[in-house]
Structure 1
Amino acid sequence: MKKLDHEERYLLKNFGTSPSRRTILKSLLLAGVGTVAATRFAEVLAAETEAEVSKLTILSQPGILPTLCNEISTPAAKKLAPNLTVEVIDSNNATSYPRMLAQKSRPVISGAMINDYFAQRGIADDMWEKFDPEIMTYRDTVPEVVMTPGGFGIPFLISPYGIMYNPDKVEKPKSWLDLFKPDYEGRVSMWDAYFDAYVMAAVASGKGPNVAEGIKAWAPHKQNIGAWVSSPIVEEDLVHRGEVWLAPHWGAWAELARSQGKNVAFTIPEEGAVQWACHMQLCKGFDKGTSRLTQAYMNTWLSEDFQLAAIKRGFFSPVNKTVVIPESDRQAGIVTVDEAVAKLIRPDFAEIGSQLPKYKALIDRTLKA
């Protein structure tokens, strides 16, 4: 049996079919059928790979989004592959991304909801594949200005990161600098591993959207920080109970908490708010069939059905520019994509994502020591 030449080895290496089919393809090449005939056969194999995919594992942000995946996206994917099983993992990125990175050589999650910072970290860590525009049919509904920086990923929902507060304890904040008021000593909760509040402290202090400057701006007022949190739900409960009165927070999660009966309100101060985005990312390391089905699955996240459900049930803001927010669903924490483009701040997420440990250490030294 002959040895494979360079062209044949290239075909075998780069044609993304399943291991069993790759074995068939190799046998044909070794038998001397030629690369032209083998390529045609390989194309037939690839066209059938979706039907052979038995399972997708998808990472979702917490809250209502796993439910929307199971109700809208999974049935759509099963129409393409009736025997498909979809596991939707509910986890925040701070917990899930390190696990994904550790599993990079043998990945489990093929598609993921990723926040702004880890979207950029993933580019540096070579975690993502680029999307196929022929599969991502809703891609053109997303304005270019809000697209994921760096060329990998597509945003599908956004939320303003403003201030949540207890309306029985304080008046609606007008400025991010209100968090520095002496009357609020011990009454503000903050994150030490999420940095948008520091971006806005810097903006309000005239320093521009700079995390380090925002941490410095907080230093003279650190006595106001009464709780360090790492969970949106915990923070909402603290504000609801009046243990803290104000908290930089996501509009979507604040409005959801309010709808559940918690005594919280949300506002965008006069200096604006950070545009938090949830990005879909296609993970590296999977065969063509899994990759194609994963993209088809995530494409539904930009559909009108998914976007409207996310507005109504999760208080997220849409990215699909053709989706109209019903007047009955307008809340302080929901903005149109045009309002997001005009009013929300998009800091240098690539820079911030590359400096996460540095900024965490700076907070520890400056505000927690």
Structure 2
Amino acid sequence: MNRRQALALGGSAVVAPALIGGRAFAQAAAVEIGTFAGGNFDIVRDVAVPAFKKENPGATINVVMRTAADHYPKLLVTRDKPREAGGMWNDTFSALGSKAGLFAPFDPALVPEQKRLNQDLQPKNGLGIAVAVQPYGIAYNPKYVEKPKSWFDLFNPKYAGRVGMHYNFWDQYVALAYALGKDERSIDAAIDEWAKHKANIGSWTTNFTTLQEQIDKGDIWLGPNWGGFTTAAQRAGASIAFAWPEEGATQQTIIAHVNANVDPAVNKVAQSFLNTWLTTDFQEAYLNRMSLSPSNPNAVISPEMAALEGVVTPERLRTRRLIQYDYALVGNNLADIRKRIEERLR
């Protein structure tokens, strides 16, 4: 399939007027929406597209797989005339893009589901809409490890050589900075603290799948990881579980954005399509298929799912700390952070 796995849905590139909010307007071209790969793409295809097409049979939506890291520099270059009308972003590139002026605000009239969402989970800069969330805490194998309570449990000498770390992610240092009574401006202090205990690090990985496989096999016993991804592996039968540290877990979010400098008619279609991502049907699909938690508090979370600590429930939000930090600040300093990790921990 060309154009990076593009999925074209609905007639030709020039289509009949689409009905949005009870009004018809001419849609000049297909509307391209970017999503992450795998289950993300599948849920958009299976849930969002049919729901939108039912209400707007004249609209054409092209759903395109891409990563945030790959697409961000392309959007910077094409910002005056972006190919995508909108799509999915993670916290880091959402924050960086917002600062760079790449995104446009949503019109509440076109995203009526937005008002139903948990506002505490929304980006603090006011741009973008949080669709699904997961905590970043500690994954562990319950065969070998008692449930960790604190980020400092990773420093226990009995875990020498048994802690797995992500080489290309940094929230373990952000969270530790908060545990030390500091914040994301003090990542250096967190890296220095880790350096005192680097004998515990037995593996460096570049993706969560590898880390989870190592924990499941017992090669590694525990390590920082995403709660939703850990929960998905646990539900699939892996010997793994998730712990939400008492000092707090960081918030990792799938955020919907519409791009700036998009044709007004296309922008309206894009916003209305992204509104389907905020519905309970869509967010329940995310939860049940991928173990990513809803931002819509009306989405049904079964008792079995609610019992899993990697799921963000309204009750957990009342009793646990979910840290939103300055993602743009950290994102702008990633080269220096990686250099310090390489020098002090590797």
Specify if TM > 0.5: yes
Offset at residue 334 of structure 1 (A): 0.6
Sort the Cα spacing of 1:223 and 1:106 in 2 relative to 1 into closer, same or farther, 3 A.
farther
Q: Deviations over 1:148-193 (max 9, x none)?
A: 1222101111111111112222222121111112222222222233
Classify the secondary structure of the residue corresponding to 1:322. coil
Offset at residue 71 of structure 1 (A): 0.9
Q: State the alpha-carbon separation in 2 of the partners of residues 262 and 67 from structure 1.
A: 23
Task: Please say if residues 53 and 81 of structure 1, whose CA atoms lie closer than 8 Å, have aligned partners that are also in contact.
Answer: no
Match of 2:123 in 1: 148
Classify the secondary structure of the residue corresponding to 1:138. helix
Match of 1:346 in 2: 324
Number of residues of Structure 1 aligned to a counterpart in Structure 2: 321
Q: 2:257 pairs with 277, 281, 289, which one? A: 281
Classify the secondary structure of the residue corresponding to 2:112. coil
1:219 pairs with 2:160: no
Q: Deviations over 1:36-94 (max 9, x none)?
A: xxxxxxxxxx95233x432x3322234422111001111233331436142231x4423
Match of 1:28 in 2: none
Match of 1:12 in 2: none
Q: State the alpha-carbon separation in 2 of the partners of residues 129 and 182 from structure 1.
A: 49
Classify the secondary structure of the residue corresponding to 1:109. coil
Match of 1:178 in 2: 153
Match of 2:86 in 1: 111
Q: Give structure 1 stretches of 5+ with no counterpart.
A: 1-19, 21-45
Q: State the alpha-carbon separation in 2 of the partners of residues 239 and 72 from structure 1.
A: 33
Q: State the alpha-carbon separation in 1 of the partners of residues 84 and 94 from structure 2.
A: 15
Q: Summarize the alignment of residues 280-299 of structure 1 with structure 2, pairs less than 5 Å apart.
A: 280-299=256-275
Sort the Cα spacing of 1:362 and 1:166 in 2 relative to 1 into closer, same or farther, 3 A.
same
Q: State the alpha-carbon separation in 2 of the partners of residues 62 and 337 from structure 1.
A: 28
Q: Deviations over 1:224-244 (max 9, x none)?
A: 222222222122122222222
Q: 1:333 pairs with 296, 303, 310, which one? A: 310
Q: State the alpha-carbon separation in 1 of the partners of residues 315 and 73 from structure 2.
A: 34
Q: Deviations over 1:265-298 (max 9, x none)?
A: 1111222211212111111232122211111111
Q: State the alpha-carbon separation in 1 of the partners of residues 258 and 244 from structure 2.
A: 32
Match of 1:320 in 2: 296
Sort the Cα spacing of 1:60 and 1:82 in 2 relative to 1 into closer, same or farther, 3 A.
same
Q: Summarize the alignment of residues 32-43 of structure 1 with structure 2, pairs less than 5 Å apart.
A: none
Q: State the alpha-carbon separation in 1 of the partners of residues 88 and 319 from structure 2.
A: 25
Q: 1:158 pairs with 121, 128, 133, which one? A: 133
Match of 2:4 in 1: none
Give the % identical residues.
Answer: 33
Q: 1:72 pairs with 36, 42, 47, which one? A: 47
Q: Which moved more, 1:102-111 or 1:297-306?
A: 102-111
Match of 1:358 in 2: 336
Q: State the alpha-carbon separation in 1 of the partners of residues 155 and 200 from structure 2.
A: 7
Q: Summarize the alignment of residues 18-97 of structure 1 with structure 2, pairs less than 5 Å apart.
A: 48-50=25-27, 52-54=28-30, 56-79=31-54, 80-82=56-58, 84-89=60-65, 91-97=66-72
Q: Which moved more, 1:348-357 or 1:120-129?
A: 348-357
Sort the Cα spacing of 1:191 and 1:99 in 2 relative to 1 into closer, same or farther, 3 A.
farther
Classify the secondary structure of the residue corresponding to 2:324. coil
Q: 2:144 pairs with 169, 188, 200, which one? A: 169
